[in-house]
Amino acid sequence: MTKFFAVLLSLLLCSTLIGGAEAAATDRALLSQFCAPKAIAGATCKEAKSYPEAEGRRCNVTLQPHRQQGRFLAGAKPLLLVSYGSDCEAHVNNFGGVVAFEQVGGSAKFLGFLPGMGVNDCVIAAKDGAQDVLVCLTGGMFQGVVESGIARVRFPSGSGGSFNMSYDFLLQAEDTTGAYTSYVVTCSEQFKYFGLSKLALGPRPGTVIAKVDYADRATIEKACAKDFPIPKDAEDHKLSEGEAYVPAPNAKRGSVLIDISTRTVTLR
């Protein structure tokens, strides 16, 4: 190894260590808002205070690297939203949620937990007055079926300055390959989205784009005419009447452009 590359490697390693130390310090500062110092281990709080509906249980909370910050509430200070995992949450809540902080100067004030939500794959896509518009790619597997969606995140306000988070879906898709080894369509459908991925800002303000797997009417007609090969394990999975298989290689692929304000979806 030349001296130049040795120095470069040393600088990169130092940068990584510094970045890791800064992230650890940030996580500890956030955790300390709802966790006793002795209960903090890395990015995990072993026993979170004020965890919703804990009912005497000791709920752990592990902060994840996915986080979003912006002015999501009208007339309020910026929020920091951090995804977390917890053993107290069930599969239906994707084993975690979001912990919210209000950003005050250079510090963060703990506001509360929002189980079942997530900010793992999001973009701030537009402004609605003074508020930032957060759009996220959502997903979860239930009995082998992966449900994904693109949703605007709403922040409905409650009493005493409280707020919640909810998904206003702009587009949804269903991937059945985990359950049926193939996509499944209903023969009466005109169009079917199977999977969404790679959410990004669109070419114009107020738009987002994403990759998509889908079946158009022509593909659905071929599937219902039995023009596609039957999946290898199809005999283990009985379809309902009027349903048909679309093997993954026979699905079409492209991208969608979504205008958030008009909710218009354009296939590209």
pLDDT tens figures, 212-230: 999 999 999 999 999 998 8
Confidence of residue 12 (pLDDT cuts 50, 70, 90): very low
**96 with 83: CB under 8 angstroms?**
yes
Inter-residue long-range contacts of 139-143, CB under 8 Å, 24+ positions, other chains counted: 139/196, 140/91, 140/94, 141/178, 142/91, 142/92, 143/179
- Name the domain boundary from 118, 145, 163: 118
At 144-187, the pLDDT tens digits run 889 999 999 999 886 556 789 999 999 999 999 888 889 999 99
217 within domain boundaries:
yes
What domain count does the chain have? 2
State whether 26 and 43 are in the same domain: yes
Q: Which of 146, 179, 137, 175 is nearest to 251 (CA)?
A: 175
In-domain check, residue 72? yes
Sign of the torsion formed by the C-alpha atoms of 59, 121, 265 and 193: negative
pLDDT at 235: 61
Three-state SS letters, 174-202: EECHHHHCCEEEECCCCCEEEEEEEEEEC
Confidence of residue 8 (pLDDT cuts 50, 70, 90): very low
Predicted TM-score of the model (pTM): 0.85
pLDDT above 70: residue 15: no
**Mean pLDDT value of segment 14-27:** 58
- Alpha helix (H) residue ranges in the chain: 3-31, 177-180, 217-224
Given pLDDT bands bounded at 50, 70 and 90, which one contains residue 259? very high
Tens digit of each residue's pLDDT (9 = 90 or more) over 55-83: 888 999 999 999 999 999 887 789 999 99
Residue 236 reports pLDDT greater than 50: yes
Query: Quick count: other Cβ atoms within 10 Å of Cβ 53?
Result: 9
CB atoms < 10 A from the CB of 212, how many? 24
pLDDT attached to residue 178 = 86
60 and 186 both lie in a single domain? no
Question: Which tokens go with 101?
Answer: 């902080």
Q: Which sign, positive or negative, has the C-alpha torsion 39, 41, 46, 52?
A: positive
Q: Is residue 189 part of a domain?
A: yes
% of the chain residues with pLDDT over 90: 68
Residues 240 and 147 in one domain: yes
Q: Are residues 157 and 253 in the same domain?
A: yes
Residue 208 structural domain = 121-268
Residue 159 lies in a domain: yes
C-beta of residue 123 within 8 angstroms of C-beta of residue 199: yes
Q: Do 54 and 136 fall into the same domain?
A: no
Which has more confidence, 145 or 31? 31
Same domain, 128 and 206: yes
**Claim to verify: residue 86 and residue 191 sit in the same structural domain:** no
**pLDDT score for 20:** 53
